[in-house]
Structure 1
Amino acid sequence: MLDPQEERAKFISLREAIFLIANAKGKTAQEAAATLALTLRRSTQWQNLQVCEFSDGHGVLSAGHRRNRLFQLLDRLATENQHSPVMDDDDQIPF
């Protein structure tokens, strides 16, 4: 039987990823967002990364249709240092 908690443990949200990168590299969240956006766009290894989302009721689901939102959020943070959500569930955009 599949366990939603196990799936959640394998999931990382956009917000979590940015702050992990920032802490690991000694960067601000804005600098980490710029680094992540550039890496996702230019590294062939990272371009193939699957975009997913997590919900308690469904676990981890593919969310390729949200890839543009992922870049919109990264660009907004990287260029404007805006942390306010572009959409209601911006913390749920994983990759």
Structure 2
Amino acid sequence: MLVNRETFILSMLLLATAATALVAWPGGSEQSLLISVSTIAIAAFKMRLIAYEFMEVRTAPLILRIFITVWLVAVPLTLVALYQWKPF
């Protein structure tokens, strides 16, 4: 049975959403670094799927693809860095 591209992408988004919920479930107020980084990584994967598939960035001009890719790397790295930074 062949599955079209849109059905596959929607299935991947659904699985990523379920994975986010399962990873973040035991969190509470004392989340470990591994749980937080895993949740951010899954969210970054979902951001990439949405940007490249539904916003059709994969067919956009090169400069836009580069900008979106840099953004998709910078945002999760910034979130992890802010999570690690403890001012006190």
TM-score, length-scaled by structure 1: 0.33
**Structure whose residues are more often helix by fraction:** 2
Larger relative contact order (CA 8 Å, sep ≥ 6):
1
**Structure whose residues are more often strand by fraction:** 1
TM-score, length-scaled by structure 2: 0.35
